[in-house]
A and B are shown apart, each in its own frame.
Chain A
Amino acid sequence: DAGITQSPRHKVTETGTPVTLRCHQTENHRYMYWYRQDPGHGLRLIHYSYGVKDTDKGEVSDGYSVSRSKTEDFLLTLESATSSQTSVYFCAISAGRGQTYEQYFGPGTRLTVT
């Protein structure tokens, strides 16, 4: 258990509204990630963070922004939700074991944009 929680776990929202998803970790990991999962695409990276206030874009970052003001929290914001952003969103952290660093995932947030 990597101590990752996501909130909310499920959300239904309307097109055009802003939405913020929260990822919280309890073990002071430096790297955090947001992925989305869609049928036929596997998981794709949206944004990631390599420290407080240090973030960068992934391959599907359009329409999303992130913030990390504390080590333990990584927020994903959909500035104006669209139906194409209906997806399952996973947060992840990178945790070390010897010389390797595996990524561990939170439980996911299912977002539906109507």
Chain B
Amino acid sequence: AQKITQTQPGMFVQEKEAVTLDCTYDTSDQSYGLFWYKQPSSGEMIFLIYQGSYDEQNATEGRYSLNFQKARKSANLVISASQLGDSAMYFCAMREALLYNQGGKLIFGQGTELSVKP
């Protein structure tokens, strides 16, 4: 069965430093997608970054990058140059999907609460 594990319930980082949020996954599928979402205290779910299982390069979106290690089944989120506004809950999620399947369901981890210190 699919499973997402986030082992860090909470983390602290100093402003302007980089931080890595861990995510490991379990699936028997060869084709899948990995996502990270940010949930600030206001409650909305904000899409950050996506990595496909066949993507050869790690995904990057501005200050966010995804450290994808397929053999280890890990998909860690790296936030560079942390800002106070990065303080939020972060969720890792996985979707089983064929290459052109639009509608795969997401399985979420339990989240990591990140606090950025000034």
Using CB atoms and an 8 Å cutoff, list the residues of chain A in contact with chain B. Answer: 30-31, 33, 35, 40-45, 48, 50, 58, 88, 90, 92, 94, 96, 99-105, 107-108
Contact = CB atoms under 8 A, between A and B. Distances in A.
A40 B108 CA distance: 11
Interface string B91-118: 1010101011111111111110000000
B19 to A, nearest CB: 20
B39 to A, nearest CB: 9
Interface of B: 4, 33, 35, 37, 43-45, 47, 50, 52, 91, 93, 95, 97, 99-111
Contacts of B102: 30-31, 94, 96, 101
A45 B106 contact: yes
20 contacts: A30-B103, A33-B105, A33-B106, A40-B110, A43-B45, A43-B93, A45-B106, A48-B105, A50-B103, A90-B45, A94-B103, A96-B102, A99-B52, A99-B99, A100-B50, A102-B35, A104-B47, A105-B47, A107-B43, A108-B44
Nearest to A51: B103
Given A42-B91, A88-B43, A90-B45, A103 B106 contact: yes
Given A100-B33, A100-B52, A107-B44, A42 B99 contact: no
A42 B104 contact: no
Given A96-B102, A103-B95, 16 more contacts: A33-B106, A40-B110, A42-B4, A42-B91, A48-B103, A94-B103, A94-B104, A100-B50, A101-B33, A101-B102, A101-B104, A102-B50, A103-B47, A103-B106, A107-B43, A108-B44
